[in-house]
Amino acid sequence: MSANPSVAVPTVKLLINGEFVESRTKEWRDVVNPATQEVLARVPFATAAEVDAAVAAAKEAFKTWRKTPIGTRARVFLRYQQLIREHMKELAALLTAEQGKTLPDAEGDVFRGLEVVEHAAGIANLQLGELANNVATGVDTYTLLQPLGVCAGITPFNFPAMIPLWMFPMAIACGNTFVLKPSEQDPMVTMRLVELAVEAGIPKGVLNVVHGGPDVVNAICDHTDIKAVSFVGSTKVGTHVYNRASLAGKRVQCMMGAKNHAVILPDAAKEPTLNAMAGAAFGAAGQRCMAASTLVLVGTAREWIPELVAKARALKVHAGTEAGTDVGPVISCAARSRIEGLIEAGVAEGATLALDGRNPQVPGYEKGNFVGPTIFTGVKPGMRIYDEEIFGPVLIVLEVEDLDAAIALVNSNPNGNGTAVFTQSGAAARKFQDEIDVGQVGINLPIPVPLPMFSFTGSRASKLGDLGPYGKQVVTFYTQTKTVTARWFDDDVSAHGINTTISLK
Ligand code: NAD
């Protein structure tokens, strides 16, 4: 936390009722470049009055936005997707500066969000009700998918472009208004995306942004004028948000932490499988909720460990802005200390440190939060490195004898975000997809994040709430189904006598 902002460092603005405004708070936090420790901006922790003002603006704007024609709503997102494309390089540079991931991966972050914006532009085909004609004589039943009102989104640091874009475009396209609370660690690219959304034509009050930490999140959970909350972040905070917002009567979806197991069978295509593993374990410095952080080697696949270690060792650890970087810094000094502490715990608990990525040399970026690719073998459930989400470039390796044992291991882990199997056997892959109790399954694909025509899923401790972000599920999440049963009397009213039964006649 820092003192009131000085003139030299820019401040991150709130968006309330169409105006980008300076917060009146006394609490600010530095937004820091994780490769250099340069302070890029200061982000406010909004006051309770500012949260109220954002919600009030959204509530007022809902009165007209909910009645805005669906084609008009869709065209805002057609313009928006074009603006995001035109600003892709600028957005990626901003994202890399504050988050640390490599420039190509930052473009990927924006692009995966852009795909949801494109999907939102197709809202006219998504928000369709159903109709049954003549459910009784002269009676039709049909459904309306009506927007809920003010919705809110709370986002994590690791995808500061994609995850906000999972939320507000689909909510707003459905006719809702929105209050977004971005991660306080890297809010700048999110705000640039919000500026572009306003430029694309989102009317004043329809999208609002407040910044902050637990107090702002709690205010969102408690606010009686907010109807739905979408949260993405850690399991601890997500569980708190789910309980608190549900208790306050809101619809809630929480996408949370993970421990994604990748299972390699001995018949897998070795070279592409090991390349996929190195990319999926260490890309984005392991700070992806779908990172393949836990490798399960079946039978003789355990002989591939030295080659995997060699591939990991060859990855270039450097600033995300440097050409050829594979692994950038982790988000903060605190994250680096936490990851290094878990590596120490792994050693103390008896796992074998096959590759130690601590304290890598990164010339020109000596102050950066770097941890290089790290691999533990001989890992067992019960060790902290297995039981906790490390969320850094650390791959843990377990060995089992057969596919049944691998499936049992994955299913006994509490998390259910993503998993993958590598094999050339269709029968083995089919058994895995059928028996595995995890929301998102990859077959010879390490990070199976679905495109927006599907919904992001997840199960067990990785998700609370029935419906996932984007895809068809999110239209259900952001709308209330209303069923209308209608009869229009014809001229012969004498044909309609008194009916005292439950049946429609
Ligand atoms: P986080 O839970 O620390 O923060 C998420 C949001 O909650 C932020 O906006 C933050 O300001 C707020 N917050 C933090 N502490 C809070 C508290 N005590 N009370 C109320 N609000 C609080 O998560 P993070 O570190 O930003 O992101 C990493 C986590 O997110 C990892 O666990 C990762 O697996 C998870 N994640 C999950 C998915 C998914 O789809 N399942 C996607 C991305 C990230």
Output the tens digit of pLDDT for each of the chain's 505 residues: 554 555 589 999 999 999 999 999 999 999 999 999 999 999 999 999 999 999 999 999 999 999 999 999 999 999 999 999 999 999 999 999 999 999 999 999 999 999 999 999 999 999 999 999 999 999 999 999 999 999 999 999 999 999 999 999 999 999 999 999 999 999 999 999 999 999 999 999 999 999 999 999 999 999 999 999 999 999 999 999 999 999 999 999 999 999 999 999 999 999 999 999 999 999 999 999 999 999 999 999 999 999 999 999 999 999 999 999 999 999 999 999 999 999 999 999 999 999 999 999 999 999 999 999 999 999 999 999 999 999 999 999 999 999 999 999 999 999 999 999 999 999 999 999 999 999 999 999 999 999 999 999 999 999 999 999 999 999 999 999 999 999 998 877 676 788 888 888 7
Ligand 1: residue of 217, 253, 290, 332 to mutate (most ligand atoms within 8 A of CB) is 217
Ligand 1 nearest atom to the CA of residue 237, by list position: 2
Helix, strand or coil, per DSSP, at residue 374: strand
In sequence order, the 6+-apart residues with CB closer than 8 A to the CB of 26 are: 4
The amino acid at residue 379 is V
CB atoms within 10 A of CB 5: 18
Say whether 289 is catalytic: yes
Beta strands 139-147 and 479-487, pairing class = antiparallel
Residue 22: half-sphere exposure toward Cβ, Cα within 13 Å: 9
Q: Is 213 in the pocket of ligand 1 (CB under 6 A)?
A: yes
Q: Is 256 in the pocket of ligand 1 (CB under 6 A)?
A: yes
Q: Is 334 in the pocket of ligand 1 (CB under 6 A)?
A: no
Q: Which two tokens stand for residue 447?
A: 């990070």
- What does 262-299 look like in DSSP terms, one character per residue? EEE-TTS-HHHHHHHHHHHHHGGGG--TT---EEEEEG
Q: Which two tokens stand for residue 46?
A: 């909004």
CA 238–ligand 1 middle distance (angstroms): 7
Ligand 1 nearest atom to the CA of residue 155, by list position: 9
Q: Which two tokens stand for residue 242?
A: 């789910």
Active-site position among 151, 221, 289, 333: 289
Distance from C-alpha of 293 to C-alpha of 260, rounded to nearest angstrom = 6
Q: What are phi and psi of 71, to 5 degrees?
A: -65, -35
Cα→Cα distances 299→9, 266, 304, 378, Å? 56, 6, 11, 14
H helices present in 127-247, as ranges: 162-173, 188-199, 214-222, 235-247
Q: Is 417 in the pocket of ligand 1 (CB under 6 A)?
A: yes
> What confidence score (pLDDT) does residue 457 get?
93
Are residues 211 and 45 in contact, defined by beta-carbon separation less than 8 angstroms? yes
> What confidence score (pLDDT) does residue 1 get?
52
- Give the residue, by CA position, lying nearest to ligand 1 atom 26: 156
Cα→Cα distances 86→103, 346, 407, 417, Å? 16, 46, 45, 33
Are residues 449 and 240 in contact, defined by beta-carbon separation less than 8 angstroms? no
Are residues 376 and 397 in contact, defined by beta-carbon separation less than 8 angstroms? yes
Distance from C-alpha of 426 to C-alpha of 412, rounded to nearest angstrom = 24
Which run of H or E residues covers position 479?
strand 479-487
Ligand 1: residue of 183, 234, 242, 369 to mutate (most ligand atoms within 8 A of CB) is 234
Helix, strand or coil, per DSSP, at residue 11: strand
> What confidence score (pLDDT) does residue 7 get?
54
Q: Is 284 in the pocket of ligand 1 (CB under 6 A)?
A: no
> What confidence score (pLDDT) does residue 3 get?
46
Dihedral of the CA atoms 201, 125, 179, 254 (nearest 10)? Answer: -150
Closest CA to 349 of 311, 387, 321: 387
Ligand 1: residue of 180, 240, 289 to mutate (most ligand atoms within 8 A of CB) is 289
Closest CA to 195 of 181, 209, 214: 209
CA 65, 66, 69, 72 dihedral sign is: positive
Q: Is 287 in the pocket of ligand 1 (CB under 6 A)?
A: no
Q: Is 237 in the pocket of ligand 1 (CB under 6 A)?
A: yes
CA 163–ligand 1 middle distance (angstroms): 11
Which run of H or E residues covers position 429?
helix 426-435
CA 395–ligand 1 middle distance (angstroms): 21
- The position carrying tokens 């070279």 is 271
pTM score of the predicted model: 0.96
Are residues 458 and 416 in contact, defined by beta-carbon separation less than 8 angstroms? yes
CA 279–ligand 1 middle distance (angstroms): 23
Q: Is 418 in the pocket of ligand 1 (CB under 6 A)?
A: no
CA 333, 338, 339, 344 dihedral sign is: positive
Closest CA to 397 of 380, 412, 409, 382: 380
Opening angle at CA 191, ends 32 and 147, nearest 5: 140
Q: Is 203 exposed, middle or buried (0-12, 13-18, 19+ CB in 10 A)?
A: middle
